[in-house]
Amino acid sequence: MQLLSHPDLHDELQVDEGCAERLLKAASGAASSSRQPFDMRSRDVKRQLWLTRPWRRDATGRAYLRSDGYYVLSRVSDGAWQYEIRKCGDKENRLVGNGYSSDIAARLAAFDAITELLQADAQIIGEAA
């Protein structure tokens, strides 16, 4: 038998060795997964909700949104929809995509572009660690 403690519990738990091993393994797995900066499954869920988010309008009527540290703008230019993405606080655009047939297509393309930026950032962070 082993005694295990947890900050959320007042008393120690007395468990057999098999149970202790499973609990410790689960706890270490939870800690490592919570440190992952990027999760594609959560991005899939976010993409489904992307169009339902409240996009604001600037003074010129262009739709914009702040998400994941980026400022996203969707607008019509030369008869086609385009998106612009920049880091919040930056003045220069980081990405621009154009030629989309609808506002929805441009917004979803912007989401996919942000996902690629976040993946690249996560890879750089992983290589530095």
Structure pTM?
A: 0.63
Of 66 and 122, the structure prediction assigns the larger pLDDT to: 66
Q: How many domains does the chain have?
A: 2
Regarding whether 23 and 61 lie in a shared domain, the answer is no
Determine whether 58 is exposed, middle or buried from the number of CB atoms within 10 Å of its CB (0-12, 13-18, 19+).
exposed
Alpha helices in 14-102 (DSSP H): 17-34, 40-50
* Cα-based distances in Å from 123 to 11, 94, 114: 41, 18, 14
- Percent of all residues in the chain with a pLDDT value above 70, rounded to a whole number: 71
H-run or E-run covering 128: helix 103-128
Residue 12 domain boundaries? 2-34
Tell whether 19 and 64 lie within a shared domain.
no
Q: Are residues 77 and 123 in the same domain?
A: yes
Distance CA 64, CA 74 (A): 6
Do 84 and 73 form a contact (C-beta atoms < 8 A)? yes
pLDDT in tens, 40-51: 667 778 888 888
Which is nearest to 120 in space by CA: 50, 68, 55? Answer: 68
Report the alpha-carbon distance of residue 84 to residue 75 in Å, rounded: 9
* 13 and 75 together in one domain: no
Q: Kindly state whether residues 71 and 117 are assigned to the same domain.
A: yes
